[in-house]
Amino acid sequence: YYHENTVIYLNGEWVKAKDAKVDLFSQTLHYGYGVFEGLRSYATPDGPHIFKAGKHFERLLESSKKLRLNIPYSVAQLVELSYRLLKKNNLNDTYIRPLVYGGQNMALHPSRQVNFMMAAWEWEKYHRNSQLDVEISDYRRPNPLSCHIDSKLVGQYTSAILASAAARAKGFDEALLLDADGYIAQAPGANFFYEKNEVLYTPPEGNILPGITRAIIIDYALELGYKVEEKLFKPADLHQADAAFFTGTATEVSGIRSIDGKRFKLEWEDTIGYSLFLMYRQRVMNKEIQNFNLV
């Protein structure tokens, strides 16, 4: 993620990643109490562009507020810092990681000191395969009444890592998690859609992280004239599906080949998901949409 000269932003300063230190008594390290974001920049002829930067930093500030870990930056300042970070490191195609984490505090109330760091690294493909074999996980999404599961809170990713690890140990590419009530929710770090008779279905907000890519893909599908239904559904409903895919900043739009060993009818290239993937890729390179003022 970094080399000898990589620079990160840490609490108002630019420091070498290799010299940056974290307090071992940080509350986030012990209790998972923190928030983060994940953004992507793409190389364009006009230099790197960060896709939907404004929306991501808005979500970071909202998540921070929910945890009472406020940071003294506006969305515009954070967008500017993220571009400076890329420039300082001479990076183009990247994943950008802002993290808000607590200071020294072993008590169970929010740390008074709040730290903010942001780093970026050259992007590698998130999934090894372009069409994924997926298993429905025995691990479920956390109960929305126990935490803010619609925010990117550090500790919630324990469940995500457990589900991924279990799926990979059995030879699957990715896990698909049910919500606390047994409805299909999402992947550990991506949202889920399935297609049936040219209609797209995706779980509604409530038990999912409402992804920024999910919202964009719904807009694109409507623009192409497809119907999109946000509704709850169970694993058995997928038996009749024609195709399915995941959406997310890292994942972009990734086709799913099979769920629990059952292959979908359509080849990836013949799906609505694939048209949306092509549209997403095209627009990601389009300055009009890249412009961070258009949040």
Q: How far apart are CA 241 and CA 176, in angstroms?
A: 15
Question: Which residues, numbered 5-34, are part of the site for ligand PMP (CB under 6 A)?
Answer: none
**Interface segment toward ligand PMP; rule CB under 6 A; list 16-24, 128-136, 199-207, 241-249:** 241-249
Annotated catalytic residue, options 152, 196, 231, 287: 152
x/- mask, ligand PMP, residues 177-216, rule CB under 6 A, reads: ---------x--xxx-----------------x-xxxx--
Nearest to residue 51, comparing CAs of 61, 41, 43?
Answer: 41
Question: Which residues, numbered 140-159, are part of the site for ligand PMP (CB under 6 A)?
Answer: 152
CB of 61 to ligand PMP, least distance (A): 15
CB of 242 to ligand PMP, least distance (A): 23
Question: Which residues, numbered 38-57, are part of the site for ligand PMP (CB under 6 A)?
Answer: 38
- For the record, the structure tokens of 95 come out as 């994943």
List b or e across 258-271, with b for residues whose CB sees 16 or more CB atoms inside 10 angstroms: bbeeeebebebeeb
Nearer of residues 7 and 218 to ligand PMP, judged by Cβ: 218
- Which residues face 245 on adjacent strands? 193, 255
Told to check if 117 binds ligand PMP by CB under 6 A, we report no
List b or e across 97-135, with b for residues whose CB sees 16 or more CB atoms inside 10 angstroms: bbbbbbeebeeeeebeebbbbbbbbebeebbeeebbbbb
Number of residue whose CB is nearest ligand PMP: 211
Is residue 152 annotated as a catalytic residue, yes or no? yes
CB of 64 to ligand PMP, least distance (A): 15
Sign of the alpha-carbon dihedral angle for 196, 199, 200, 201: negative
For 213-250, give the DSSP string.
Answer: HHHHHHHHHHHTT-EEEE----GGGGGG-SEEEEEETT
Using the rule CB under 6 A, which residue among 26, 131, 249, 271 binds ligand PMP? 249
- Contacting residues toward ligand PMP, per CB under 6 A: 38, 152, 186, 189-191, 209, 211-214, 247-249
Catalytic positions: 152
